[in-house]
């Protein structure tokens, strides 16, 4: 598995009962899909519920994820505490040659930083005292990248622009881009160090188009590993597809025989900045909020009964004959079996970028979802949510991007090598 992590902490740094060797690369049990959040089948990557996966705060810095592998890191890696999403545009005059050199530099820097080493040149010392802290760096190509580099014939049809959705209020300046970088780490300084290093590596070849900063709960912050909660207080990501499932690779990764050939073992990522209208949401009673989602706020269990992982009984009615899980509940509409089996791996970050002039919080979800084909994953689910999801009254899609994320780099190689040198 590509997102393999090793822990090198000394024995005394790991309390009794905590595994001294931890693999990061399995997406565990997850919570409710933040609907039009593109939540597609309601999926979000999270840590396993196994006690062996619990991480002591003092040992987090030693967690290391491998850069090289079949798939790029940061896809099935459990969600980290801090994240940066950044899009770059190639500068005027920069083309395939400059892009190739840039991906070489970026890959070399990512490999060093993910191993807990300093940048090869001009390191800022920001992360000097820290270990790898589960740092991951993931690279992708936008639709416009291929025309900028003369590689139009290699542009996948799956990268065609997403359709317009009724709930979209998109800021074009914060959408799309030639290149996309995802940075995740369990330490904020480690994440910033990587962000700054990659931005400096871009040099004269590319400039930042937009940047978004996010966060999740820190591993070890709860007594036992739990499914993540979003800023609405809802358990977010139940039913995430798991790598151990027989059809996981088929749903999430482009097969070896896929087209174009350079995308073998890669994936397509949809990125959406989704504003949560928290003032409106927080005025609702807990019962009203649960009706919108279709699940208990405390446990994530479906309103039809059971636990978080219990399959909802969509036909169950109450004493008045009304559906227990409302017809427009997010959990109902976003289910794979309600969308022709469409599924995606959700791996989001929350964000809070201050307050508007009237005191309204600029906060919500940096929605990140992975699939082998967005036309069979994100698009059909979002269309369904767009037509009648109760949650749509409390969220607003403000930015969007779709990127092709090639497979992992071989040792000695760099991400996108087959595309750029093919």
Question: Coil, strand or helix: which one is 403?
Answer: strand
Q: Quote the CA–CA distance of 153 and 135 in Å, as a whole number.
A: 34
Alpha-helix residue ranges (DSSP H) falling in 45-122: 96-114
For every residue of 189-249, DSSP letters joined together read HHHHHHHHHHHHHHTTTEEEEEEEEEE-PPTTSSSS----B-TTS-B--BT---TTSTTHH
According to DSSP, the residues that pair with 31 across neighbouring strands are 238
Q: Are 262 and 158 within 8 A, CB to CB? A: no
358 is annotated as an active-site residue: no
CB neighbour list of residue 170: distance below 8 Å, 6 or more residues apart: 397, 398, 399, 400
What's the rounded Cα separation, in Å, for the pair 293 and 40?
14
Mention every residue, 6+ apart, whose C-beta is less than 8 A from residue 227: 29, 30, 31, 44, 46, 235, 236, 237, 238, 300, 308
Catalytic residue, chosen from 3, 63, 89, 236, is 236
Active-site residue numbers?
A: 236
């Amino acid at each position: 598995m590509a997102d393999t992590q090793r822990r090198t902490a000394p024995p005394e740094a790991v309390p009794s009962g905590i595994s001294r060797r931890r693999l990061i690369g399995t997406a565990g049990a997850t919570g409710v899909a933040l609907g039009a959040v593109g939540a597609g089948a309601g999926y979000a990557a999270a840590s396993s519920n196994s006690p062996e996966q619990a991480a002591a705060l003092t040992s987090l810095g030693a967690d290391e994820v491998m850069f090289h592998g079949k798939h790029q890191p940061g896809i099935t890696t459990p969600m980290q505490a801090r994240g940066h999403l950044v899009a770059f545009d190639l500068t005027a005059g920069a083309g395939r040659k400059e892009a190739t050199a840039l991906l070489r530099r970026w890959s070399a820097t990512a490999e060093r930083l993910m191993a807990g080493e300093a940048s090869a040149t001009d390191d800022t010392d920001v992360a000097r005292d820290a270990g790898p802290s589960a740092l991951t760096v993931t690279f992708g190509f936008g639709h416009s990248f291929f025309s900028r580099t003369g590689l139009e014939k290699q542009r996948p049809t799956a990268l065609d622009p997403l359709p317009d959705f009724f709930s979209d209020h998109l800021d074009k300046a914060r959408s799309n881009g030639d290149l996309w970088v995802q940075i995740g780490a369990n330490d904020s300084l480690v994440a910033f160090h990587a962000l700054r290093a990659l931005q400096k590596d871009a040099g004269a070849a590319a400039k930042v188009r937009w940047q978004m900063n996010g966060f999740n709960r820190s591993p070890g912050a709860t007594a036992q590993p739990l499914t993540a909660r979003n800023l609405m207080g809802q358990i977010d990501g139940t039913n995430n597809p798991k790598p151990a499932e027989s059809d996981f690779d088929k749903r999430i990764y482009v097969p070896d025989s896929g087209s174009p050939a350079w995308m073998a073992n890669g994936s397509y990522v949809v990125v959406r900045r989704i504003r949560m209208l928290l003032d409106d949401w927080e005025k609702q009673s807990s019962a009203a909020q649960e009706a919108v989602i279709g699940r208990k706020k405390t446990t994530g269990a479906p309103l039809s009964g059971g636990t978080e992982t219990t399959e909802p009984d969509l036909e169950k009615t109450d004493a008045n004959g009304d559906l227990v899980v409302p017809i427009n509940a997010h959990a109902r509409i976003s289910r794979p079996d309600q969308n022709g089996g469409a599924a995606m791996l959700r791996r989001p970050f929350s964000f809070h970028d201050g307050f508007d002039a009237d005191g309204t919080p600029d906060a919500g979800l940096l929605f990140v979802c992975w699939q082998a084909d967005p036309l069979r994953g994100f698009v059909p689910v979002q269309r369904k949510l767009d037509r009648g999801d109760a949650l749509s009254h409390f969220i607003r899609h403000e930015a969007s991007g779709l990127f092709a994320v090639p497979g992992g780099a071989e040792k000695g190689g760099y991400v996108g090598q087959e595309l750029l040198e093919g």
